[in-house]
Amino acid sequence: MDQLFTIGQLSKIYDIKIPTLRYYDEVGILKPAKVDSKTHYRYYSTAEFERLNVIKYLRALDVPISDIKNFFDARDISTLEDMLKRQQTQVNQQIKTLQAINGRISSRLKQVNDAENSILGKIEYLNLPETPIVYLRRDYNLNEDIELPLTALRREYGLNEAIFLGKIALSLSKQNILDEKFDEYSGILLMLENGDQRRNSSTLQKGSYLRVRFHGTHQDASDTYLQLKQYCDDNLLTIVGDAIEITLIDYGITNDFDKYVTEIRLPVR
């Protein structure tokens, strides 16, 4: 007669919790060799060991319980092949998702590190590449709650809050810059990057920009816009489009106001 093992012994041998073994019994993928009619204790023989090895292997591949049951019910090679191919497809998709997440993490680390080491107040003349964005044209005043246009942007394009950190910007129209209405914004946008599962609705055109970073948030931007206007006058540059204003470090990252950094990009010719 084959040696029998209690469910507790099997649990220790395979390092599987007893409730999990009971669940396997309930769903029909691992039935015990014997159940005591009086105590209802489950007993397993070595014949169940091989089956449990297969279950552990497939669960390690994250194969769903329902697929494992279908495999055991069919017990043929083609079922196993189909199951593993489906799982391989899912794993490949998970890899792509994790690669995208890793890319976002790297991007945020680079952005924060770059902002921390910026020379604040220094105006730079740069040639920037085209950047895909999701844009919502909506008037916004600094006296208003910024969460309202943010919510409108999310709803308009079905955006996930998880992709927002460090990528939301306000646009200030060329005319408002010339009229020195620095607290009256014309739109809100999300700058997209590799891995974002979202089609852009517009782009920031490639070309020449003045870029400056300053201490503070949107509420502190007026003096910097005046400096940019003066720089354009002194260097015979013409403002050719709307400015983009993005907080690189703010209350979403730190409670230390002294570390807040905001960037302005102004297209010029």
Model confidence pLDDT, tens digit, residues 22-51: 999 999 999 999 999 999 999 999 989 989
Mutual orientation of helices 7-14 and 47-60 as an angle, nearest 10°?
A: 50
Predicted confidence (pLDDT) at residue 100 exceeds the cutoff of 70: yes
pLDDT for residue 174:
97
pLDDT for residue 160:
67
133 plus 36 within the same structural domain:
no
**Sheet containing 202-204: order of strands:** 124-128, 207-215, 261-267, 243-249, 168-172, 184-191, 131-141, 202-204
pLDDT for residue 253:
80
134 plus 237 within the same structural domain:
yes
36 plus 151 within the same structural domain:
no
Task: Report yes or no: 2 and 45 within 8 Å, Cβ to Cβ.
Answer: yes
pLDDT for residue 162:
57
Q: What is the CATH number of the domain that holds 61?
A: 1.10.1660.10
pLDDT for residue 201:
76
Q: What is the CATH number of the domain that holds 127?
A: 3.20.80.10
188 plus 259 within the same structural domain:
yes
Q: Is residue 120 part of a domain?
A: yes
242 plus 126 within the same structural domain:
yes
Q: Is residue 195 part of a domain?
A: yes
Q: Is residue 131 part of a domain?
A: yes
Q: Is residue 103 part of a domain?
A: no
Query: How confident is the model over 242-264, as pLDDT tens digits?
Result: 999 998 988 878 888 889 999 99
The answer for residues whose C-beta is within 8 angstroms of residue 79's C-beta and 6 or more apart is 70, 71
Q: Percent of the chain beyond pLDDT 90?
A: 57
How far apart CA 168 and CA 132 sit, in angstroms, is 13
11 plus 125 within the same structural domain:
no
Sign of CA dihedral 116, 177, 142, 144: negative
11 plus 120 within the same structural domain:
no
150-164, 225-239, 250-264: the lowest-pLDDT one? 150-164
Q: Is residue 92 part of a domain?
A: no
How far apart CA 103 and CA 133 sit, in angstroms, is 17
What's this model's pTM, rounded to 2 decimal places? 0.68
How far apart CA 148 and CA 127 sit, in angstroms, is 33
Query: How confident is the model over 48-96, as pLDDT tens digits?
Result: 998 999 999 999 988 999 999 998 988 888 888 998 898 899 889 989 8
Determine the 3-state secondary structure of 199 from DSSP. Answer: coil
* C-alpha distances in Å from residue 208, one per residue of 50, 201, 204, 240: 67, 22, 11, 10
Q: Give how many domains the chain has, as a whole number.
A: 2
How far apart CA 35 and CA 9 sit, in angstroms, is 15
The whole domain housing 21 covers 5-75
Q: Is residue 104 part of a domain?
A: no
131 plus 232 within the same structural domain:
yes
pLDDT for residue 136:
87
Query: How confident is the model over 161-216, as pLDDT tens digits?
Result: 656 666 889 999 999 999 999 999 999 988 887 666 566 678 899 999 999 999 99
Q: What is the mean pLDDT of residues 105-110?
A: 85
123 plus 58 within the same structural domain:
no
Q: What is the mean pLDDT of residues 150-166?
A: 73
Q: Is residue 240 part of a domain?
A: yes
The count of C-alpha atoms lying within 13 angstroms of the C-alpha of 103, restricted to the half-sphere facing its C-beta, is 12
Q: Is residue 142 part of a domain?
A: yes
pLDDT for residue 122:
96
123 plus 237 within the same structural domain:
yes
132 plus 48 within the same structural domain:
no
